[in-house]
Chains A and B, each alone.
Chain A
Amino acid sequence: DTEVTQTPKHLVMGMTNKKSLKCEQHMGHRAMYWYKQKAKKPPELMFVYSYEKLSINESVPSRFSPECPNSSLLNLHLHALQPEDSALYLCASSLSAAPEQFFGPGTRLTVL
């Protein structure tokens, strides 16, 4: 298996909802990433997990809560989001000692 999968593909939520995004890879990668991408912009790093531990948090608001339950799975829990949080949320993974990152297809999130 040589790909990163993300579910759901699309998500619409209200500002009071709680939802979660899921990312999975079976390439044996031990570094996993969450990025946020607005239209016509490059991806912006949110979080980095290395060996299931959070190693980088790019000052992301607490309404975004990441979780790495095991080496293959990465979740992003969402609560009390704002309309400006609407974006494409991308997951990526890489070997622990290598910089090459492989991206999933993303979850298109709309906050009403």
Chain B
Amino acid sequence: GENVEQHPSTLSVQEGDSAVIKCTYSDSASNYFPWYKQELGKGPQLIIDIRSNVGEKKDQRIAVTLNKTAKHFSLHITETQPEDSAVYFCAASGETSYDKVIFGPGTSLSVIP
């Protein structure tokens, strides 16, 4: 079955710097890759996603890149702010709601003011 690895497990950056989180997956059949942000005491929030027919997607300060050949994808956050502090989970699945979403272990991001 699918296995998703995520690095680093913790990341600390100064406010205004960039943060990068990297994930790898094992199943070449996966073609949907969401990123979730989970703040303390809250449920995961879908912040951006990418499908296998796209190499890069950007939404304001966040961007995701996908290298399907190498089976890895990354989250980039620019101009980090204290409110970006949270746990971020990458995930991989098929294209439908019937496909199980496999989560990475998570990255705890701290943005230091």
Contact = CB atoms under 8 A, between A and B. Distances in A.
Interface in A1-27: 4, 6
Interface string B80-113: 0000000001000111111111011110000000
A50 B98 contact: yes
- What is the size category of the interface that chain B forms with chain A? 20 to 34
Interface residues of A, number: 27
A104 B93 contact: no
Interface string A24-57: 0000001100000000111101001010000110
Given A40-B106, A42-B105, A103 B100 contact: no
* Interface majority SS (helix, strand, loop, mixed), chain A: loop
Contacts of B42: 105-106
Given A90-B44, A102-B46, A96 B97 contact: yes
Contacts of B45: 103
Nearest to A93: B97
Given A40-B106, A42-B89, A42-B106, A99 B101 contact: yes
A55 B96 CA distance: 13
A100 B105 contact: no
Nearest to A30: B97
A13 to B, nearest CB: 20
Given A40-B106, A42-B104, A104-B43, A99 B89 contact: no
* Interface majority SS (helix, strand, loop, mixed), chain B: loop
Given A40-B106, A42-B104, A43-B103, A103 B43 contact: yes
A100 B49 contact: yes
Contact of B93 (A30, A99, A105): A99
A103 B93 contact: no
A94 interface: yes
Contact of B106 (A41, A50, A90, A96): A41
A98 interface: yes
Given A41-B106, A42-B89, A42-B105, A105 B97 contact: no
Interface of A: 4, 6, 30-31, 40-43, 45, 48, 50, 55-56, 90, 94-106
